[in-house]
Structure 1
């Protein structure tokens, strides 16, 4: 259903800018350990995007999860971080783009892209 963004999806101050930065990197290749501006891994993309928006994040997805305020699915907002846990750690992170989609750098051999959240086992975090 297209239309205005629901109030629960209203952008946070840093999140709106970070989301725009991540979207501007569409097509950038994945590279393990890369933090931009031309190549990224998952947490490198989120770190870079939030840094450009004026907010510092730690380096890894796990550290970023620990550094954010955790929010429930029904309170998530555009620009929130979406974390994908694997066992007791967080293995992947992207930036929430609305309509159950994230901007992320998926894995080796792929490029930064917008993709539907593929798992129900995700956690949400808000930077600052």
Structure 2
């Protein structure tokens, strides 16, 4: 089924979520969810069974949004990932199947014994990224 572009696309000030509006109904999609379900070959592979489980993405944010023609959105994430094109059909699916897809992801993480929390080389979890950038914002 072909879906139109959302009526509205809003990036939250924190860059932690993207809000899509369909028929006046707002759907908020966390950056982590969008990142782990990236349509890129790096994440989805080139066929069934070739998917790569994305781990350590709990603090990822949306660094940029770019329209691609009249059919998709390119999302750049704070971890540098930017190779997935989210077409309108895929964004609609993500927005309307969020609960099921997120539960599936959490189950896969658990089964794999993996974590959503990124780790550093020494195994310690880093402080959450708060979006102030490398120069700091003076709020912390």
The two structures have a TM-score, normalised by structure 2, of 0.28
Q: Relative contact order, CA 8 A, sep 6+: which one is greater?
A: 1
Q: Which structure: larger Rg?
A: 2
Q: TM-score if structure 1 supplies the norm length?
A: 0.29
